[in-house]
Structure 1
Amino acid sequence: MFELSLLCPEDRVEDLSDALDALDALSVSVEDADAQTEAEQALFGEPGMPPPREGWQRSRIVALFVAREGAEEAQRLLQAQEFFAGCEVLGIAPVADQDWVRLTQSQFAPVEITPDFWIVPTWHDLPPQARTSIRLDPGLAFGTGTHPTTRMCLRWIARQSGTQGLGRVLDYGCGSGILAIGAAKHGAVDIDAVDIDPAAVESTRLNAQANGVQLHAGLPEQAQGLYQTVLANILATPLKVLAPLLCAHVAQGGHLVLAGILERQAEELQQAYAPWLRLEVADREDGWILMTAVR
């Protein structure tokens, strides 16, 4: 395979990407041409905030082709277009053959939640100290155990199971189903895992089956009645919108567990939930916090 590399200003990225797609590129990627330099600029905003700009000032576009002839033909045709003005060809280079599956797998190692509770990809052996584990591979839905918000939720689940138990559990915005599966692994037996994304619902079902646990996965309307434990690892803005709905599902004496919240967002979440429950910060990791409340 061969890759064609181009340099272009912000306003030409979409035209070039569309053209490369029409020229049968296997893939088209866009990256900041000034990354790792003093000219690098942030493109994405913080969670819940609009992006500061729509594109990088200068972008490097890389298109992958099966053969050099395809890359050369694409280069020739693009240079003849009016929209190529201000753009530049950086070159055509062969792409070395690699075991892409092995390369991808090498980026995911077992994740320690507690000393005896681990998230382990299926291609890894279980750590000898893992008394409880979730077998989970990267997929279409969020939640592999590598993000601080997921780890904090799972730590809370592990701690709670050793005290008064989890009771009936709702995992709202379940993604891969990792929190619902973690609850099942720690003794919960009546679990609803819901998400607005059908792909996440299917992912949760498959992951639950692979881990030998029972749960009910479906769309949000499946959540009915009261739960002893309500989990929601989303982001601060949707968590504020969902405040009345989530609080309505928490049983007397039950727990609400929220994640996807930055440390600076703690007060606004407390204010949003104040009419129903008193949120407190229960855990912190890498700038993220876990907030909990008891009815």
Structure 2
Amino acid sequence: MFELSLRCPEDRVDVLSDALDALDALSVSVEDADAQTPAEQALFGEPGMPPPKDGWQRSRMVALFAQESGAQEASALLQAQDFFEGCRLLGIQAIAEQDWVRLTQSQFAPVEVTPEFWIVPTWHEPPAQAHQIIRLDPGLAFGTGTHPTTRMCLRWIARNNVKDQRVLDYGCGSGILAIGAAKYGATRIDAVDIDEAAVTSTVLNAEANHVVLTAGLPEQAQGLYQTVLANILATPLKVLAPLLCSHVEAGGALVLAGILERQADELKAAYAPWVQLEVADSEDGWILMTAQKPASAA
């Protein structure tokens, strides 16, 4: 394996990425060329929204090639192009062979939800103190337990009685919340998502965890539920307020996540016609908001 390194200005990142892809690079990564210096730039944007800029003022690009000849050819061809002006070749070097699967797996350890409740990748043994576990490997679907919003929802499930309840997981992603509800005794669980890949992922993850649930597209959600869970983002949660509230039975619980601390008042206002939302948990700038539907509500 050989690594071709380049430095380029912000406006050349996309064209160089496309060119490297066309030149059969196995992968292309981009990082701040000024990282760990006073000139380092943060490009954090709001979740679900594009970052404030497409790239750093100076980016370091690294492309991997299977053969040194491929890296050398790509280097020569790129340097001959007009769009390479202002860019610089940093070098080509051999990369030691590694067990990439094992290296990747080592980055994902069991995740603690509560001291007794853990999310454990299939290649790990559960911690000794884990009385309840969800087996889940990192994948494409959102919600593998590493994000605070997922952990807060699972903590709520673990600390509240969902035994024998009918539960709706709206925007199920990997199905982790629906699986968590099943682990804690819910018996009639619907998990829905607009993404068919998420539905498939949920079915497979449920089977791997030996729990029973029904997964499908949003129209599958029908009738009333004693608990409705939705870990999405603030904007869609506001749009979905009438729908989600209509699925909560009188006296039932609504549990919402994917909300930043500064968005609490927006969500309270959006849901005020139906329920009174309150902040129930917080972690790393994210909050969990919950409400109980009035017992007299229709």
**What TM-score comes out, normalization by structure 2 length?**
0.95
What is the number of equivalent residue pairs in this alignment? 293
Q: How far 1:49 moved relative to its partner?
A: 5.6
Amino acid at match of 1:135: R
* Paired residue secondary structure (1:14): helix
Structure 1 segments unaligned to the other structure (5+ residues): none
Amino acid at match of 1:79: Q
Once residues 254 and 262 of structure 2 are traced to their aligned partners in structure 1, the CA distance between those partners, rounded to angstroms, is 20
Amino acid at match of 2:210: G
* Paired residue secondary structure (1:292): strand
Amino acid at match of 2:166: R
Partner of 1:258: 256
Structure 1 contact 116–129 (Cα < 8 Å) conserved: yes
Matched, 1:195 2:204: no
Partner of 1:41: 41
1:222 pairs, out of 220, 223, 230, with: 220
Partner of 1:249: 247
Structure 2 segments unaligned to the other structure (5+ residues): 294-298
Amino acid at match of 1:93: Q
* Paired residue secondary structure (1:271): helix
* Paired residue secondary structure (2:153): helix
Pair 1:200–1:49, CA change in 2 (3 A): closer
Q: How far 1:47 moved relative to its partner?
A: 2.9
**What TM-score comes out, normalization by structure 1 length?**
0.96
Farther off after superposition, 109-118 or 190-199: 109-118
Q: How far 1:22 moved relative to its partner?
A: 1.1
Structure 1 contact 195–218 (Cα < 8 Å) conserved: yes
Partner of 1:65: 65
Once residues 192 and 60 of structure 1 are traced to their aligned partners in structure 2, the CA distance between those partners, rounded to angstroms, is 45
Structure 2 contact 163–187 (Cα < 8 Å) conserved: no
Q: How far 1:46 moved relative to its partner?
A: 2.0
Once residues 63 and 118 of structure 1 are traced to their aligned partners in structure 2, the CA distance between those partners, rounded to angstroms, is 37
Pair 1:48–1:269, CA change in 2 (3 A): farther
Once residues 277 and 166 of structure 1 are traced to their aligned partners in structure 2, the CA distance between those partners, rounded to angstroms, is 24
Matched, 1:211 2:192: no
Amino acid at match of 1:112: E
Structure 1 contact 160–166 (Cα < 8 Å) conserved: no
2:183 pairs, out of 159, 181, 185, with: 185
* Paired residue secondary structure (1:91): strand
Pair 1:166–1:269, CA change in 2 (3 A): farther
RMSD of aligned C-alpha atoms? 1.4
Pair 1:232–1:98, CA change in 2 (3 A): same
